[in-house]
Amino acid sequence: MINIAIHGVLGKMGRAIARLANDSNQLKLISAFDTHANLADLSSGITKDILHTSINADALKNVQVLIDFSVPQASISAVQLCLELKIPMVIGTTGFSSQEESIIENASKKIPILKSSNMSVGVNLLFALTKMAAKSLNHRNFQVEMMEIHHGKKKDAPSGTAKTLEKILLENMPLDKNVTYGREGMVGERKQNELGSFALRGGDVVGDHTVYFLGEGERIELKHQAVNRDVFAQGALVAAEFISGKPAAFYSMAQALGLSGEVKN
């Protein structure tokens, strides 16, 4: 049995992970953290005895893996504490600055860290297929566009998953590094090396991501739709099992899922 803690447990993802962890035969939730703990509606199997307002060393005693789905600033604080206590981390938080990304990568030299913008099996397969398509079409006359849709309460845009897809495309096709995030008015003819990435927000959409390879007389669409958060929560628990006992390194979700065509995201 692996003892885990969840940072950001009262968010949508945190609650889903807690609920599934309580049904697991491999993992045991022994500590949970959220700044709104004092106002908590104790659902999803989260109990008062394990819930804390702020992450701290005492509450991390006996924790073997910390799963982080919080916000960037809080996540970096958790990284620094786990670094001090030598606790492995699974990070699903998105929206980090380049400086914060560097802090995480440097920490992975001393503790095992698995960081992913999306932990579902399907999305990680989408990453691998996008890389394969990009490499195959990088000298062909195809233009590339992306679209993602999320619920109206999502705070960041583009999504972390969309940013990973952008990174894959930019690394594997001769595209302009300045991504186009919107078009309006007389913008002129589309450039061949342009990458368009668009974010739609509304309703209760869990997450849709589509990559379009648009050619003359044909187009290829790679699409993933999530209908509930359990696919991400299950992936986070798989990641926690995978990283427990691993040596210090920066791990990918592709490694945890045993997918070929590894993509760090």
Task: Give me the active site residues, please.
Answer: 150, 154
Which stretch of DSSP H or E encloses residue 136? Answer: helix 121-137
CA–CA distance, 3 with 104 (Å, rounded to integer): 22
CB 256 within 8 A of CB 164: no
**Closest among 72, 12, 60 to 32, alpha carbons compared:** 60
Torsion sign, CA atoms 252, 254, 257, 260: negative
DSSP 250: E
CA–CA distance, 184 with 64 (Å, rounded to integer): 50
What type of residue is 216? E
No. of helices (H) and no. of strands (E), the chain: 7, 11
Q: Tell me the two tokens of residue 216.
A: 């003359």
CA–CA distance, 151 with 63 (Å, rounded to integer): 33
Q: How far is CA 47 from CA 19, 25, 68, 153, 183, in A?
A: 11, 19, 18, 26, 48
Rounded (10°) CA dihedral 165, 167, 168, 173: 120
Packing angle, helices 230-243 and 12-21, rounded to 10: 60
CA–CA distance, 103 with 107 (Å, rounded to integer): 6
